[in-house]
Structures are given as structure tokens and as C-alpha cells.
Amino acid sequence: MRPAYSLRQWMGLVIQLGLGGLFVYAGVAKWLDPLRFASSLLGYQLFPMGLIDWLVPLFPWVEIMLGMAMMLGVMPRFTGAMVGGLLVVFTALVSHAYANQLVIDCGCFGAPRPVDAQKIIENVAMIGAAWAWWREWVTPVSVWSWARGLRRQG
């Protein structure tokens, strides 16, 4: 018999796999095309070149590691806080570009994407999901506990 999961656990699983997967995808896209990522950062007109030189090789790995931790349910309070915090920073950057009418690529997922109000709304929704996961309004599901449940069935 399969373990019965509550709606909160299913919502937690959807958030952790969805948001975690987005972070992994975004990190891999930046890692595969560092020149586009650097160009996107330059477009915001906020970062000195020295910081961009530091962010371009490091930041994709931060996103990948946080995304993997979220997907696996590792340290959910810490991971949720870090993902939510980064999303707040991303939203502030996109809002800055939108308010200043900068015609730039947001630098989010590798493919060119203009900065617009829709991107801000998407980010706010992701902040809400990370907040719910961090506050445990939805229940994070650890891969380890899920695997333990499957072993007990066998």
C-alpha cells in the first residue's frame, strides 16, 4: 500500500520539485552560456565589472546547489530562506530594470527574455511559494522519508 500523503505534502512536493527544478535549470543555462549571463548582468547597469567577473563562474553553481537541495528536501528551512532571498533580489533587479525602462535580457534562464511586468508577477508568485515552503504552510517532503516509506511497503 502506498503511503497516504496530505494535500500539504503534495503541495510541498510540487513547490520543491517545481521551484528547485527551475533553479537547477536556470543555473545550468547560465553555466552553459557564461557570456550571455555576463551580458545580462551588465545590462542592469548596477554591477561593477569586478563583481561580474566573480559572479559569472560562481553564481550558476549556487543556483544549481540550492535547486538540488530544494528538490531533495535537504534542510528545508535554510534552503527555502535562501531560495526566497535570492528571488527577492532577482525581483528587485527586474523591478529596477522595468522602472528605468531598460531594454535588456533578464538573464533568468539562458534564452533571451525581456524584462516586463509579467516577469515581476512570476517572481512574486515564486517568492510566495518559497515563503509557504519555508514557513511549512506546505509540508516539505524529504526524499529520504519518501524512500523509507517505499521500503516499508516492500
Segment 74-84, tens digit of pLDDT: 888 899 899 99
The reply to whether 56 falls in a domain is yes
The reply to whether 152 falls in a domain is no
Q: How far is CA 139 from CA 3, 13, 153, in A?
A: 15, 8, 22
100 near 22, Cβ under 8 Å? Answer: no
The reply to whether 154 falls in a domain is no
The reply to whether 78 falls in a domain is yes
The reply to whether 114 falls in a domain is yes
The reply to whether 43 falls in a domain is yes
The reply to whether 72 falls in a domain is yes
Q: How far apart are CA 57 and CA 17, in angstroms?
A: 25
Q: Which domain holds residue 130?
A: 7-144
Residue 79: CA count within 13 A, CB half-sphere:
26
Query: In this predicted model, what pLDDT tens digit does every residue of 12-60 receive, in sequence order?
Result: 888 889 999 999 999 999 999 999 999 999 999 999 999 999 999 999 9
The reply to whether 151 falls in a domain is no
Q: How far apart are CA 131 and CA 136, in angstroms?
A: 8
Helix (H, G, I), strand (E, B) or coil at 69: helix
11 near 138, Cβ under 8 Å? Answer: yes
Our count of domains for the chain comes to 1
